[in-house]
Amino acid sequence: MTNRRNFLRTTGGMLGAAVVSKAAMGAVPEAALQTSPQTQPPLEPSNGRPYQPVVTLNGWTLPWRMNNGWKEFHLVAEPVVRELAPGMKTHLWGYNGQSPGPTLECVEGDKVRIFVTNKLPEATSIHWHGIILPNGMDGVSGLTQPHIPVGKTFVYEFVMGKSGSFMYHPHADEMVQMAMGMMGSIVVHPKNPKFMPVDRDFVFLLSAFMIEPGAYTPKVAEMLDFNLWTFNSRVFPGIDAMPVRLGDRVRVRIGNLTMTNHPLHIHGHHMEVTCTDGGWVPKSARWPETTIDIGVGQVRSFEFVADNPGDWPLHCHKSHHTMNAMGHNVPTMIGVDHRGIAEKIMKLVPDYMVMGERGMSDMSEMEMPLPENTLPMMTGKGPFGPIEMGGMFTVFKIRDGLARNDYKDPGWYKHPQGTVSYEWTGAPLATERAPAQAVSAPKAREFRAVKPSGHSGH
């Protein structure tokens, strides 16, 4: 996929090996590589302080090595191919084979040394978003350091001072490099593993792309009109489900590197924001929510107790953000009877299809020829039929009896008898409506202002 002759590789199957030990002391550590877009199992720490590792949704954690008390990571900025969902591959820029890059996991107080090698066609740098560090390690090219030229490796050294969830992204030609998918998560675990413990801990980033139907590369100059809204550069149905054991305390850490806010909504549970990228929220300051708005450049971590079994969505509540590539100039055709017109057009264009006359649900089932490398607008199949979603949508699969570290998809929920919405098959229900008023002219029907009758006649 990419030219990486200078680096030894680890493959997806070898990621359990946490220590990159082959590189000689004093040399640059190996750059681990991941090409699978599937969620990788948590990377148990094999050295340093213990912690409960996170699971990166449709991603992975970067292995490290210990070197004289320093935790050493190696990030490689490079062009990557990312599958957004089965049926669509995109040409992005990322780190170590994927966009977003791997999650960096540390413990409060860790001394980290991060090697950053630039294999992009232009200069770059990395900003450690939310981490408090010496100014010269902040990664702002031109301001706090020279750009990392093409082909060169720079070293960042600092202490991960405060536990929480953070991000990393370029601070060089940011508009292009972030629009091309360059970003990653940083999780710093508390020194005391008993502080705010959870059973399942997920992390992912929000990003957005404008990729014209049939194209492979995002339009980097786009500002508002994105058509693919992603969790970790994946769209539903390509976003993995989050399996959760009944009764687990669950934490989800979400960072937003798009150009708009995203109100993330969960079903079946109440959650509380327990951490921001500024720090932990004191218990007395939390309140229950079902939707939390994640602003641009923010990280929010929420927690809930998974006490309600089932398949429960987690999705952005901006409805356009749960769609895949859609044309934004589609007129609303609801209620328009265009049977006669369709017949005439079909004489000229035999494949012509009329859309939207009864809503857009047809889109999720229709076998319409799409341009190559383009996903249907609404998709995903559930146990009861089409789910009619895309973009920022996934499901917590809360089940009794999962093993502690079991992240395998348990399949669809089997509802206990009598707990699923059902069709009314009894006698037709009489509908009482207000009696229609006799109105003579149609124009009077649409805009009728009724003035309050005053008492002036008395």
List C-alpha distances in Å: 247 to 16, 218, 410, 448: 28, 41, 16, 55
Q: Could you tell me the smallest distance in angstroms from the CB atom of residue 326 to Cu ion?
A: 14
Output 293 or 406, the one with its CB closest to Cu ion: 293
The beta strands (E) that lie in 180-248 are given as 184-189, 200-209, 228-231, 242-245
If one counts every other C-beta atom within 10 angstroms of the C-beta of residue 207, the result is 28
Stretch that binds Cu ion, among 91-99, 107-115, 310-318, 413-421 (CB under 5 A): 310-318
Q: Minimum distance between the CB of residue 226 and Cu ion, rounded to whole angstroms?
A: 10
Q: Which DSSP state fits 443?
A: H
Cα angle for residues 361, 362, 363 (degrees, 5° grid): 85
In what side-by-side order are the strands of the sheet with 310-316?
242-245, 393-399, 310-316, 262-266, 291-294
Beta bridge partners of 244: 398
- Return the range that interacts with Cu ion (CB under 5 A); candidates 257-265, 351-359, 432-440, 443-451: 257-265
**Candidate ranges 154-162, 312-320, 336-344, 410-418; the one touching Cu ion (CB under 5 A):** 312-320
Smallest gap from residue 239 Cβ to Cu ion (A): 13
DSSP letter for each residue of 336-378: ---HHHHHHHHHH-TT-----BTBSGGGGT--PPPPTT---SS
Cβ closest to Cu ion, residue 15 vs residue 235 = 235
- Give the number of residues in contact with Cu ion, rule: CB under 5 A: 4
- CB-nearer residue toward Cu ion: 127 or 315: 315
CB of 392 to Cu ion, least distance (A): 5
Nearest distance from C-beta of residue 237 to Cu ion, angstroms: 17
Nearer to Cu ion, 163 or 230 (CB): 230
Residues of span 319-338 touching Cu ion by CB under 5 A = 321
Residue 291 CB contacts under 8 Å (≥ 6 apart), including other chains: 263, 264, 265, 266, 317
Q: Does 315 bind Cu ion (CB under 5 A)?
A: no
> Which CB sits closer to Cu ion, 169 or 321?
321
Name the E strands within 170-309.
Answer: 184-189, 200-209, 228-231, 242-245, 249-256, 262-266, 272-276, 279-280, 291-294, 299-305
Q: What is the C-alpha to C-alpha distance for residues 228 and 215, in angstroms, rounded to an integer?
A: 13
In this complex, which beta carbon is closest to Cu ion, that of residue 211 or of residue 316?
Answer: 316
The span of 167-175, 194-202, 314-322, 364-372 binding Cu ion (CB under 5 A) equals 314-322
From 100-108, 160-168, 193-201, 309-317, span contacting Cu ion (CB under 5 A): 309-317
Query: Residues with Cβ < 8 Å from 180, sequence gap 6 or more?
Result: 92, 93, 99, 218, 220
**Closer to Cu ion by Cβ: residue 76 or 206:** 206
Residue closer to Cu ion, measured from CB, 375 or 402: 375
Per rule CB under 5 A, is residue 239 in the interface with Cu ion? Answer: no
Contact segment (CB under 5 A) with Cu ion among 219-227, 232-240, 258-266, 267-275 equals: 258-266
Q: How far is the CB of 319 from Cu ion (least distance, A)?
A: 9
Nearer to Cu ion, 251 or 262 (CB): 262
CB atoms within 10 A of CB 72: 20
Q: How far is CA 19 from the centre of its chain?
A: 28
Structure tokens at 158: 């600092």
Residue 202 C-beta: closest distance to Cu ion, Å: 18
Nearer to Cu ion by Cβ, of 56 and 230: the residue is 230
Nearer to Cu ion, 193 or 295 (CB): 295
Long-range contacts of range 140-144, CB-CB < 8 Å, 24 or more positions apart?
Answer: 140/171, 141/171, 141/172, 142/172
Q: Is 318 in the site for Cu ion (CB under 5 A)?
A: yes
Beta-ladder partners of 411:
none
Least distance from Cu ion to the Cβ atom of residue 256, Å: 9
At 437, list the tokens: 């008023």
Q: How buried is 443 (Cβ within 10 angstroms: 0-12 exposed, 13-18 middle, 19+ buried)?
A: exposed
Q: Which of 33, 104, 250, 316 binds Cu ion (CB under 5 A)?
A: 316
What is the rounded distance in angstroms from the CA atom of residue 76 to the CA atom of residue 59? 16
* Least CB distance to Cu ion at residue 149 (A): 36
**Selected binder of Cu ion within 119, 262, 269, 315 (CB under 5 A):** 262
**Binding range to Cu ion, per CB under 5 A, among 64-72, 238-246, 316-324, 398-406:** 316-324
Q: Is the peptide bond before 371 cis (omega within 30 degrees of 0)?
A: no
Q: Which residues bind Cu ion (CB under 5 A)?
A: 262, 316, 318, 321
